[in-house]
Amino acid sequence: MKRRVLLAILLVVAGIFLLIQQVAFGRILNVCASCISYPYLVAHRYTVMPIISWWQRSSDIKELHKQLAQQQHQYQELLATHIADQAARTYADDIAELIRFKNRYKTDKKMVTQVLMHNSSDHGHYILVDKGSRSHVQPDMVAVFKNCLIGKVTEVYPWYAKVTLISDPSCKVASYCTKTKAHGIHEGICNAQKSHLCHVSHLDKLQRDDFVLSSGKGLVFPQGFVLGKIGRYEQKGLFYDVEVNPVVDVSKLEYCMLLQKE
């Protein structure tokens, strides 16, 4: 019986000793593993992690550039739309008076045109407009702006037309004064600041700042368009020498309307 008890005690002690040895051996293994893995962890910290961070930053930067490009594209589209709206609004404001005026005339041959070029020299006064034969512009169509007579179409090309201004000597308009009803012929003298009203009888009465209108007696110009206001005048023999001052600065003109007399 004593032998059995002693044997059991020995077995328990041996088991405890083996367990202690296993625990110590495991700790030794853990320590060895930590010593082996530490250089890898350090290398990972100073080599792999920066590469991963750089890669992530690069991906983020690419994504940000992509988003920025999309935002810039959207901005350009919105800007283009805004510019188009502003241009349309400005165009509408510029031609609103022309549209209201053109409703007075019952003719299909009327169109709003943009002025491409101005020419004012001693050899002639004219403008070029952006409508031509492809838009059914014809010679002798009249150019007007806000009830004012600008000139007439003298040359037509496919894409544009030449409008000779009333300040050109070749442009002569039968006209009359609104208050005194004095009649004459309006003639240009290649001067944008003044023109002449010729063949006004000394028997007629004149008044400064009286409007000079087209009478419609010729074959080209319709009735009722302003040519200017009477400025200085004096009698010379049987006729008056009358100076007419313009009411429209043609050099700043951007739009005008072309129409044909009924």
Q: Which of 103, 131, 164 delimits the end of a domain? A: 103
Q: If you ran DSSP here, which 8-state letter would residue 221 be given? A: P
Q: Which of 78, 103, 128 delimits the end of a domain? A: 103
3-state DSSP call for residue 63? helix
Domain CATH for 252: 2.40.10.340
Q: 120, 251 in Cβ contact below 8 A?
A: yes
Domain count along the chain: 2
167 and 218 in a single domain? The answer is: yes
Task: Round to whole Å and give the CA distance between 115 and 127.
Answer: 7
Q: 244, 212 in Cβ contact below 8 A?
A: yes
34 and 156 in a single domain? The answer is: no
115 and 242 in a single domain? The answer is: yes
Q: Which of 41, 71, 103 delimits the end of a domain? A: 103
137 and 75 in a single domain? The answer is: no
Query: Which whole-number Å values give the CA distances from 3 to 7, 10, 15, in the listed order?
Result: 6, 10, 18
Task: Round to whole Å and give the CA distance between 71 and 79.
Answer: 12
131 and 242 in a single domain? The answer is: yes
87 and 136 in a single domain? The answer is: no
242 and 153 in a single domain? The answer is: yes
180 and 66 in a single domain? The answer is: no
The structure's pTM equals 0.61
Nearest to 220 by CA among 184, 173, 176, 170: 173
Per-residue pLDDT of the chain (262 residues; tens, 9 = 90+): 656 656 556 655 555 555 555 555 555 555 565 565 556 555 656 666 667 677 777 777 878 878 887 887 776 677 556 545 655 665 566 566 556 555 555 445 678 898 998 988 888 899 999 989 898 888 999 999 888 899 999 999 999 999 999 999 999 999 989 888 899 999 999 988 999 999 999 888 988 988 898 888 877 788 888 899 999 998 888 899 999 999 888 888 888 989 876 6
The range of the structural domain enclosing residue 39 comes to: 1-103
